[in-house]
Structure 1
Amino acid sequence: MFKGTDFLQSVKTIKSLEEYIIHIDFASQEIFKSNKIWFRGHANKNYKLIPSIFRTKEYSIESEKNLTEEFLDKAKGFIAGQTFDNNEWYFLMQHFGLKTRLLDWTEGYLFALFFSLKLNKGDNPFIDPCIWIINPEELNMLSLNKTVIIRTNDDLNKTLISEYLNFQNQKEELPIAISPTYSNERVLRQKGCFTLHSGNTTINSVYKKYRSKKIVKINISYKERSQMLEQLKLAGISESSIFPDLEGLSRELNSKYKF
């Protein structure tokens, strides 16, 4: 069902929701032997597992620092009466679409499938999407030598996270898996979680470095995108359920009525 040397990849390209669930069950029971697994959907199977801020050719520490500081300077006027620490502000940046060092994952495999099938501006509709699967505790064992998930509401973990977000720290740490406090309904609905990166080291390279193949990729047929999105709707997974606001409802209706 899966093969590979640097990571395990589905032998066949998935063409239905049923096939997808069969592969998820196999990965959970036979590869990870755990239900503590995270999923990430990519619209393009060739995308690397790094945050979007490190994918841009124009990236520099200075430009990232300026981007972050300007957001903090201007955003506080939009959220009057609420106070956040630096780490909480960083998660808000990610939530509102600013490019950050965070990579989105989810604990729900149907959510991940939806995100892989959903086309955004610039996505090529003729390239197969994919789903990546990791065990967050194993990633942190490889990166930190600790079999834990980093919880953001713990004071010791806040210090660790701050080190990853320190623009003066030029040492590139290995990516870590973190589970945030659910500060907004979108993250709550999507069962959101993150990997935090200090540079352009991919998730794959961490496993390759330690010769672990317990990272899984499931390829989805782009030709079945519309059909599988319809199957997800029947399972209650749609724009308005994942994005519980008027923006999500509007996108769902636009799609329904072909606008």
Structure 2
Amino acid sequence: MRTENDILVKSWEELQNALFHNSWDDKINRYRSSYVYRGMWNKDFELTTSLMRLGGDYSKLEAHLLRNFKKYAHRDAAPGNSLWNWLAVAQHHGLPTRLLDWTYSPFVALHFATNNLLNYDTDAVIWCVNYVRSNTHLPPVLKDAISAEGSNVFTPEVLEPVCSSLKELSAFQEEDYVLFLEPPSLDGRIVHQFALFAMMSTPTALLSDWLEEKPDLYFRIIIPARLKWEIRDKLDQANITERVLFPGLNGLSEWLRRHYTTI
């Protein structure tokens, strides 16, 4: 995929400028970005969900997956009984869902674009989406709910009173839309990754296709393969590592494995 919104960086310095592109906020005279980020090791990847990657008639499987997850999970697995809490927990633990992982941190996104050493011969990408401006495409009932809260993203507590099911989400309007959902702080992983989810109004809507029709909402940073080692080493020195982002022995082991890998 190649778009007119692509920024090809050629150095670490150019990368920093691109990551914080348009982050100045005149209203508060502060650097507060309205963008969220998703890092991917291959620039040609589209924003497909894990549900889509099941293949077949995947949209009909969504309700079955979530129903059975709730049925077999520990009764205290989700904080409260809101569908949106259950969906966040399911995504967090690897169930195929329509949710996509994003982060407020451009450096966390960089981590996921460069964490796999087996893919250092491939150009990577950081997707950057203006989550504040994306709210202009929400149906009125959701616009009103988020405006009344004084927020730019949803939480399960804000979404539940106005929309309690996936069917309602798609019934608000015919045109597809995206909303950004902050999960509860289930564990250190979500907190340390500064995480949130993107959710399309229908399971078959592809976010990258939706964004292509709205070029004012996003840009992409293309990272040449030759820069990956430099980026990775500088991220490690800045402590943006699995040891921090995936607290526990697995994260520690992944960080140490890369640290002692010989080029």
Question: Structure 1 stretches (4+) deviating beyond 6 angstroms?
Answer: 165-169
CA distance in 1, matches of 2:91, 2:104: 18
Equivalent residue, structure 2, for 1:23? 18
Q: Deviations over 1:90-143 (max 9, x none)?
A: 1111111111111111111100000111228xx754321100111112112123
Q: How does 1:126-205 map to 2 (within 5 A)?
A: 126-144=121-139, 146=143, 149-155=152-158, 157-160=159-162, 162-164=164-166, 173-197=176-200, 198-205=202-209
Equivalent residue, structure 1, for 2:28? none
Gaps spanning 5+ residues in structure 2: where? 26-30
Contact 2:38-2:101 within 8 A present in 1 as well: yes
Q: CA 1:82–1:208 in 2, change beyond 3 Å: closer, same or farther?
A: closer
Q: CA 1:50–1:149 in 2, change beyond 3 Å: closer, same or farther?
A: farther
Q: Post-superposition shift, 1:201?
A: 2.1
Gaps spanning 5+ residues in structure 1: where? none
Give the partner amino acid of 1:241: V
Q: Post-superposition shift, 1:45?
A: 1.0
Give the partner amino acid of 1:158: E
Equivalent residue, structure 2, for 1:67? 65
SS in 2 for 1:68: helix
Superposition TM-score, scaled by structure 1 size: 0.80
Contact 2:124-2:225 within 8 A present in 1 as well: yes
RMSD: 3.2
SS in 1 for 2:247: coil
Q: Post-superposition shift, 1:159?
A: 4.5
Equivalent residue, structure 2, for 1:246? 249
- Aligned pairs, how many? 246
CA distance in 2, matches of 1:207, 1:95: 24
Q: Percent identity?
A: 24
Contact 2:37-2:104 within 8 A present in 1 as well: yes
Equivalent residue, structure 1, for 2:6? 9
CA distance in 2, matches of 1:19, 1:167: 40
Contact 2:82-2:156 within 8 A present in 1 as well: no
Give the partner amino acid of 2:166: Y
